Amino acid sequence: MATEKKNESATPENQDVNPEKKAGTPEAARANDSDQQARQIADLQSLTNSLIDTVKKVQQQQTRDLSYFDALSDIKSATKALLMSQPAPALAGADAPVAAKKEGCSDARECISNECCRYDIMLSQIRVTSMQNEPGDSNLGVMEIRLFAHLNGIGAVVPGMFSTLTLHKPIGNPALWTTVNAKVASVTVPHNFHKDFLVTIDAEEVENTQLENALYQRDEHGSNNGTLTLTCCCKPPVITIEVPFTAGGLGAGNRGSIEVRLTAVKTSN
């Protein structure tokens, strides 16, 4: 009988196989802490990878922006060289000018000469007509705009290559016009004729802040054109061109739109 009792006391049913892993022991607490640390390290690694991907996307967008700016700089340099080589270039307008009407002329005798008069085409004003659906801009009623106004590729970047116009639109109210008065190009018109000049506006809404770059990453783009008709003896008209943003951004919903006003200033008779 003594032998049987000794064997019973040695069986697994009467002993803890791993007594060190009992709940509440220091060894169990250390094991639990180790598991929590492993999960935290995995979460930090996932967050780090996400941040690295965001930085890469921002860098890629910055590279595309630099390429865009370089292209605009080349256009600007070519424009300057062309204007300097031709003292009074007449930019292409209508294929065949037709006789101008004298109604509205201050003095019809100005239209007798066969010489040309000279104008500076001006981008006079700009405003927002529709906000985009990005909360970072639409909730504040603010858009940052850069545009290239040109005639057949000859023109000006407004306000500049590395700056933007900050435009405001109160929520639920029309936006006010912002005065710009930027020269687009100089043109000439023969007396006794009128000429049509096709002005194109290539615009973009620029993501300026780090928050915008992190969340949206893509600028909005849009383009449109309008015709400005000039004669030597009549007051230059004012035309309005609406430019909807149709590309870039979040790629869905309303990307916003702007309007620009153009006119001309006579610099010689």
Inside any domain, residue 145: yes
Tokens of 51: 């941040």
Residue 95 resides in a domain: yes
Q: How far apart are CA 211 and CA 24, in angstroms?
A: 47
Within a domain: 66: no
Which residue range is the domain that position 129 belongs to?
89-268
Give how many domains the chain has, as a whole number: 1
Structural domain contains residue 62:
no
The parts of the chain modelled with pLDDT lower than 70 are 1-24, 58, 62, 65-66, 68, 78-114, 134-140, 208-218, 250-253
Q: Is the pTM of this model over 0.75?
A: no
User: Residue by residue, what is the 3-state secondary structure of 193-242?
Assistant: EEEEEEEEEEEEECCCCHHHHHHCCCCEEEEEEEEEEEECCCCCCCEEEE
Does any domain span residue 2? no
Q: Render pLDDT for 116-163 as a digit per residue (tens, 0 to 9).
A: 889 999 999 999 998 877 655 555 678 889 999 999 899 999 999 889
Residue 38 lies in a domain: no
Asked whether residue 49 is domain-assigned, the answer is no
199 in any annotated domain: yes
pLDDT in tens, 187-197: 999 888 889 99
